[in-house]
Structure 1
Amino acid sequence: MSRPEIAVTGIGMVTPAGTDTPSTWQAVCAGTPTATTLAQLAGMPVDFGCTIPDFQPDLVLGRRTAYRLDRATQLILAAADEALRDAGLDSRTWDGNRVAVVIGGSLNGAQTWETQYQRLRDHGPRHVSALLIPMIVPSTPAGEIALAHQVTGPSLVTATACASGATAIVTARDLLLSDQCDIAITGGTESSITPFISTGFAQLGVLSARADDPARASRPFDQTRDGFVMAEAAAALILERAHHAAARGRRPRALLAGSGSTTDAHHPTAPHPQGHGAKQAMRNALADAGLTHHDIAHVNSHGTSTVLNDAVEAEAIRTVLPSGPMVTSAKGALGHSLAAAGAVEAALTVLSLEHDLIPPTVNLDSPDPGFDLNFVTKAAAGQRIDAALSNSFGFGGHNVVLAFRTP
């Protein structure tokens, strides 16, 4: 029996470029950078990042719900709500036992950890919130989506550092293929731009130091790149078997045709210098999707703007995809949203397939001459796209590649 096709039927995004999918897509295609100096990071080694200033959780979720949730959970709840509306699904009418929730997370609860510790330090135990533990438990984002939409099937959070959102999508696909659910709400979330976490990344030497010009600090694949810019975001995708979507009259926005996941087993934070794991993940995704390098017109790259990661990824793309697909990185515009990045970029890849349009890599003014890739710069590029890859790589050597194609 042939394997069923997996359809993407809904998308929801809350990013520094907008509080929904249309506004995010418009800003990313326009090449609008979002990094700015942040008051909460005043006095820190790096005092800028990409936040979502227009997100109002009290209005979006209701005051009582917003009050008891960490911001990372607030963001993914909003993204999931949009994705469900986009898919034409109403949780009041479905069989919750046939629905799954799989969300990628890494530093979920970071804002709550930091603020509540400050209360303990400055005012004593009585001032620590009674909601502290449910706010910071890593599984909370998935659990809260399940609670909001009466999902009684599988629910879990995946953690593979900056590949977590992509790992969640792979896991959700597996649940659908094994017939453990008919609908999967999946994606990733992150909101950890705090003094403590930002300082930790700065101490690792992976953040850009361009405090004099934050908007131009994230420079994926540029020869002057000096590190990534922290961001917050959430993105949700609704996955269904294609015949299930067709039975309720929904045409897929795209098909999740395949995936590849590997581990470098090389270093706690640095990628394998020859990119063996990244290359194999890309090859595995192609094989799983039944595609060749000739089929891939576009790669939505991980493209962090760090010296090592960009070099390794560029070599991997050039080796595995010698036909020269058009390459972009959303992190020039949106910054690096860690666990959410793979989900945000998967959603953008689906939109590129839909619109035959590839957003530019913001701030890529002087591509590193050693990379020899077909980068999209300056302006969005119109291009017929029948199949595309979305790359996600994370600390710990996690490599996840998603293959999408048109229906």
Structure 2
Amino acid sequence: MTPIAIRAFSATTALGRGIEAQREALLARRSGLRRNDFGPPGEDGAPLPCWIGRVDGLEAMPLPPQFARWECRNNRLAWLALQQDDLLATLADLVERHGAERVAVVIGTSTSSIGETEQAYTRLATGADGTSAFATDIARPIVHTVHATGDFIQHATGLRGPCITVATACSSSAKVFAQAARLIDAGLADAALVGGVDTMCGSVLYGFNSLQLVSTQPCRPFDEARDGLSLGEAGGFALLERAGDDEAGLQLRGYGESSDAHHMSTPHPQGLGAQYAMADALARAGIDAAQVGYLNLHGTATPANDSIEAAAVNALFPATLHASSTKGWTGHTLGAAGIVESVFALLALHHGELPGILNSDAPDPACGGQIRFDNARAEIDYAMNNSFGFGGNNCSLVFGRA
């Protein structure tokens, strides 16, 4: 594929706001996970017993008044994340070069603003005729759709290019890179604001718990005693532009996608979809597996996911690869995992600081030699990110230097 330049990138997670907060926590091996303090409570009146990666301060950060139509927790986090790392200033430069109608918006999410819809149903108002309706202050139609955050970001930034929401569960904000690359390659845009935002809500906490996927302790990716994930929330963005013929900087060099459709919530037992996505990304980048220096794994810390992903990685990569899951730092941020962990891969590529795995200390012998628990330092030429979603919806990305 034609390389796509990455002009800026940022993430806001339980570790803090912006890329320096992420980098500092990764280097210090400081987790952002905490005991669950997010409602609604269970039948016993207590919060669900688990650990979460929560972004501090959102409750006290309403959107500016001109954006009240889009008010919700998810859009608050989107707005906060947009303020970091000079994203808006760099975006203004892109608009000046290309025009607002030539800059696309591609946003990934899994639950969007469903937390606001949950509140609306708990506050149903009954009219004189006995019918129920959303209370007036929360009856804002755009907020109760999966496109709520994409629509908000387009209006908040003034961009007028194609505006697309990708909702493919946990691969959502990895697939935004592929979607944007296709838009640029097809001549429908010259640049794109891509990203992902997902926030905590009852549907997330109790939905994953009903699948028996949530651990009562901090998640332990690739540990032989792992027993489930820790949920998190996050927002992040990257600015992409058609690359010039002779320039330096970080680039999207390849993407790979697959849909193995094996099961609604269980990966293919041989990890075929994961292998296809990774192989497709490598082929599109025009590199061999041995050239990849760091791979950020999907690594949810559920028993099935980790062993199957490790087998897929072992089938393609040499044991010299440094591969790790960073969900012990942030929790599984669902539709935002793709952008957050792409930011981690870009930081590894830029600084040569390769994160390991938090909370895990007993490597699962069923996993390959690529899995690394300790941080490391190494100058690398290529970094990858894996993001795999329910229903076998998989995406792998390859990043490199110009």
- The answer for the alignment partner of 1:382 in structure 2 is 377
Partner of 1:280: 276
Aligned match for 1:153, one of 151, 161, 168: 161
Superposed CA offset, 1:181-213 (max 9, x none): 11100011101x233431121110111123xxx
- Give the counterpart of 2:400 among 395, 401, 405: 405
* Distance in 1 of aligned mates of 2:183 and 2:236: 19
Runs of 4 or more, structure 1, over 6 Å off, are: 121-124
Shift of 1:268: 0.7
How many residues get paired?
A: 391
Q: Distance in 1 between matches of 2:126 and 2:48?
A: 23
Deviations 1:141-179 (A, max 9, x none): 122221122211100100111000111111011111112
Aligned equivalent of 2:119, options 109, 115, 122: 115
Query: Does residue 96 of structure 1 match 2:91?
Result: no
* Counterpart residue type for residue 223 of structure 2: D
**For residue 388 of structure 2, what is the aligned residue in structure 1?**
393
Deviations 1:294-327 (A, max 9, x none): 1111111101000000011100111111253101
Alpha-carbon separation, structure 2, partners of 1:120 and 1:244? 57
Supply the distance in 2 between the matched residues of 1:295 and 1:245 (Cα, whole angstroms): 22
Tell me, yes or no, if the aligned pair for 2:277 and 2:396 is still in contact at 8 Å: yes
8 A contact 1:332–1:363 mirrored in 2: yes
Relative to structure 1, the CA distance from residue 121 to residue 266 in structure 2 (aligned partners, 3 Å threshold; closer, same or farther) is: farther
CA distance in structure 2 between the partners assigned to 1:122 and 1:376 by the alignment: 57
Distance 1:398 1:6, change over 3 A: same
- Taking a change above 3 Å as real, the CA distance of residues 282 and 76 of structure 1, as seen in their structure-2 partners, is same
The worse-fitting range, judged by mean Cα deviation, of 79-88 and 380-389 is 79-88
Query: Is the 1:30–1:359 Cα contact (8 Å) retained in structure 2?
Result: no
Instruction: Kindly indicate whether the alpha-carbon contact (under 8 Å) linking 2:319 and 2:368 is maintained by their aligned counterparts in 1.
Output: no
Match of 2:84 in 1: 82
Kindly indicate whether the alpha-carbon contact (under 8 Å) linking 2:326 and 2:358 is maintained by their aligned counterparts in 1.
Answer: yes
Q: 1:226 to 1:389 in 2, by over 3 A?
A: same
Residues 63-89 of structure 1: per-residue CA shift (max 9 Å, x gap): 553674222222223323436537733
Any conservation in 2 of the 1:219–1:363 contact (CA below 8 Å)?
Answer: yes
Contact 1:232 1:337 (8 Å CA) reproduced:
yes
Q: In the superposition, relative to structure 1, how do residues 182 and 201 fare at CA in structure 2: closer, same or farther (>3 Å)?
A: same
Shifted more, 255-264 versus 314-323: the winner is 314-323
Is the Cα contact below 8 Å between 1:35 and 1:49 reproduced in 2?
A: yes
Letter in 2 for 1:133: P
Q: Deviations over 1:219-277 (max 9, x none)?
A: 1101111111111101101111121995xxxx53x111001100112111100000011
Contact 1:106–1:338 (CA<8 Å) still a contact in 2? yes
| Stretch deviating more after TM superposition (115-124 or 269-278) | 115-124
* Alignment partner, residue 189 of structure 2: 181
Give secondary structure in 2 for the equivalent of 1:129.
helix
Shift of residue 126, structure 1, vs aligned partner: 6.5
SS class of match (2:74): helix
**Aligned CA distance change for structure 1 residues 26 and 87 (closer, same or farther; 3 Å):** farther
Answering whether residue 51 of structure 2 is matched by residue 48 of structure 1, we say yes
Return the offset for 1:336.
0.2
2:198 is the counterpart of 1:203: no
- Structure 1 residues 162 and 261 mapped into 2: Cα distance closer, same or farther (>3 Å)? same
Comparing 3-12 with 233-242, greater Cα deviation is found at: 3-12
Which residue number corresponds to residue 329 of structure 2?
333
Deviations 1:357-382 (A, max 9, x none): 1122111211101112233324x310
Alignment of 1:137 onto 2:145: yes
Does structure 1 residue 312 correspond to structure 2 residue 312? no
Q: Distance in 1 between matches of 2:264 and 2:238?
A: 30
Structure 1 residue 222 corresponds to structure 2 residue 208: no
TM-score, length-scaled by structure 2: 0.91
Which letter maps to 2:320?
G
Aligned-pair distance for 1:44? 4.7
Write the distance in 2 (CA, Å) between the matches of 1:176 and 1:285.
18
Does the CA contact (< 8 Å) of 1:314 and 1:373 recur in 2? no
Separation (CA, whole Å) in 2 of partners of 1:297 and 1:317: 13
3-state SS of the aligned residue for 2:363?
coil
Aligned to 1:214: none
Q: Return 114-123 or 161-170, whichever deviates more.
A: 114-123
Conservation of the 8 A alpha-carbon contact between 1:51 and 1:232: yes
Q: In the TM superposition, what is the alpha-carbon distance from 1:4 to its structure 2 partner? A: 3.4
Residue 127 in structure 1 maps to residue 135 in structure 2? yes
Aligned-pair distance for 1:134?
Answer: 1.5
RMSD after superposition: 2.3
Distance 1:126 1:363, change over 3 A: closer
**Hey, what does 1:6 align to over in structure 2?**
4
